[in-house]
Each structure stands twice: as structure tokens, then as C-alpha cells.
Copies of this chain bind each other. A is one copy, B any other.
Amino acid sequence: MIIVLEPKTPEKVIDELIIEVKEQGLDVHRSDGKAYTILGLVGDTSKVKEAPILSNEWVHNLVRIQEPYKRANKIFKPEATVIDVANHKIGGDEIVVMAGPCSVEGRDEMMEQAIAVKEAGAHFLRAGAYKPRSSPYSFQGLGKEGIKYMLEAKKETGLPIVTEIMSIGTLDEFNDVDIIQVGARNMQNFALLKALGKSDKPVLLKRGLSSTIEEWLMSAEYILAEGNPNVILCERGIRTFENYTRNTLDVSAVPMIKRLSHLPIIVDPSHAAGLWWMVDSLSKASVAAGADGLLIEVHPDPAHALSDGAQTIKPKQFANLMTEMDKIARVMDRHIK
């Protein structure tokens, strides 16, 4: 951490700042440049109190050097985290594919859809029982009932299941869910993250739609800090000025996470663009970029899906995509099938 002082900062102010910082258990290296004097803080700067520094009128700038996340940081755990769920090793050589409808729509529909994605080669069944919707007038999901239907489909097909949690109060309903998803809008719902950190369930943590990679890793840190090491990151598109697509898939997040962290990262190409015809290209691009998995919306009849039909592909398209992605995966010494 570096404190940059304004030109002509009085020596008295500098001395006081140095004392302030030393009392926090850090060493200080001072160097006087042409325009600025800078103070380098050495030691464990992750817990420095910034207020006394930033509110000082002689401080021009405060520059953090060290990433603020620790348990999520590759520096402190260089080997990749591989999460074993129902015999699928997420973060390993297999690229895992989670597929299914946006919402659980009913018992029969769920069963039919689960069988369809299973046949097309999916490894996990995904669907939403609780649905965050920007309008209070939209379908809000079947809730507890929806999870029940997913568990029945799991029993029938053998597919482990992934579904989203929206509030702490419902945590008990997720006991038999294989992976609990935290949606983009809840990425900084810290109370929820802490509760999940106390569980040992794998958590699929979606990136907030305008969260930096650093903030995303800090949210992972909330879960890790409570003792749950099983975090899977999921890139799902970020908000930019471009509006031909609903969001902008940040494919660079894949190699960036691989460099900064040991956690596995998957991609959701359906929410990224919000356009069914783009899922194919974005899925292949994600595999080529090094993603550990994909989360894809698939529905036998997108026109009559209860939500997000615009970004949903059909089982047949999905099956073809699985075949093509497997070929690309093999170029990277990985595999899907």
C-alpha cells in the first residue's frame, strides 16, 4: 500500500501519518520524489484502516498493491481447486455442462426436460424454482414445490441438480440440492454469502452484472472465509453501453480468473447475450478460452417457456453443440463427452 502525499506536505503531517500507520503494526518506507513524497507501507496491509489516511487533506492518493482477497488468491493457494460433485470433477479435465429450462414449470414439464437434456449429454440439470424478476408482475417461480420437482427429476435421470437461492430463510429447502446458485443480483447480498459459507454445499457464484472481477473474488472470499471452500465462479455477461446484446460476455474473465485464483470458473452464455441464436458461438468461445464448464438454458418449446424463452435453445441444437464443444475441448486436451 502506497500513500502519495501532496507537494509541500508539512513534515509534521508526514510524521503523524507515519505514527498512525506504525501503530497499526506496519513498517513505513519513505521516499521523496520530484513532485510527490510517497510512503510505502510494508506488512499485512489487508486490514489497514484507510479512513485516517484518505480523510487527510494532504493525502493525494492511496494506492493498493496487494489484492484484497486472500483465500481466493492463487498466491496463497497455487494448486487449482477441483470440486467433486456426484463424480464430476469441476475444475478438472472434464468440462461440465449444466443445462435445463430457466424456470421449473411443473412436475411433468420438469421430468420431460430433464430426460431431454440428459439424452443430449448434459452432466447436471439446472432450473429455477425461485426466480428474481425485475417486474413484480412477472412469474416469480414455483418455490419449494419447484425444488421438489427437480429432486424427482434427479431421482429419475440420475442428474445432479443446480438451483438458485434468493434468501436465507429458504436455506433448509436446499438440503438435497447438489449445487446452490447465487444469482448476479445477490452477488453482494453479504448476509446470504455468510450463511452459505457456513454450509459445505458447493456454491455457484454468478458475477454481478456490473461487478469487477475483484469484487467478485471478494464475494467468493465471504464464502471461503466462513469455512466453505467449494466455490464455483460463473461469468454471465456484464453491463456495458452496448445494447444490441442484453449483456456483454466478458470472455477475458476466464483466463483472468485462472491467473488470479485457484477457483473453477464456468460460463453462462444464455444470460450473457440474451439471444438464443448466439448461445452456440459464445459456448464454443468459452470452451476455447479455457472455461471449466457451461450453464445453458435448454427447453423443448422455448416459445412457451415461462421465462427467458428468448435466450433458450432446443434439445436438438444443444446436442449438436455438445458434439462441437467436445471437439474444441479435445484441442485443449480436455473433454466434454
| Docked-complex contact B248 and A248, CB < 8 angstroms | yes
A288 to B286, CA, bound (A): 8
- Which chain B residues border A332 with CB–CB below 8 Å? 284, 324
Q: Which residue of B has the minimal Cβ distance to A222?
A: B136
- Which chain B residues border A327 with CB–CB below 8 Å? 331
Q: Does A214 sit at the interface, judged by CB under 8 A? A: yes
- Which chain B residues border A250 with CB–CB below 8 Å? 240, 242, 248-249
| Docked-complex contact A63 and B2, CB < 8 angstroms | yes
- Which chain B residues border A66 with CB–CB below 8 Å? 33, 35-36
Q: Does A77 sit at the interface, judged by CB under 8 A? A: no
Find the residue from A4, A47, A52, A215 having the highest chain B CB count within 10 A.
A52
Q: Does A281 sit at the interface, judged by CB under 8 A? A: yes
| Docked-complex contact A55 and B302, CB < 8 angstroms | yes
Q: Does A19 sit at the interface, judged by CB under 8 A? A: no
Q: Does A144 sit at the interface, judged by CB under 8 A? A: no
- Which chain B residues border A202 with CB–CB below 8 Å? none
- Which chain B residues border A43 with CB–CB below 8 Å? 33-34
Q: How many copies does the complex hold?
A: 4
Q: Does A14 sit at the interface, judged by CB under 8 A? A: no
Q: Does A156 sit at the interface, judged by CB under 8 A? A: no
A213 to B273, CA, bound (A): 14
A42 to B30, CA, bound (A): 11
Question: A239: which of B44, B210, B304 is its contact (CB, 8 Å)?
Answer: B210
Q: Does A158 sit at the interface, judged by CB under 8 A? A: no
Binds B, one of A106-114, A121-129, A306-314: A306-314
- Which chain B residues border A80 with CB–CB below 8 Å? none
- Which chain B residues border A310 with CB–CB below 8 Å? 50-51, 54-55
Known A-B contacts: A54-B309, A185-B189. Give 17 more (CB < 8 A): A2-B63, A29-B40, A36-B65, A38-B40, A47-B137, A51-B309, A55-B276, A134-B218, A135-B218, A167-B168, A189-B189, A210-B210, A212-B244, A213-B242, A240-B240, A244-B260, A285-B288
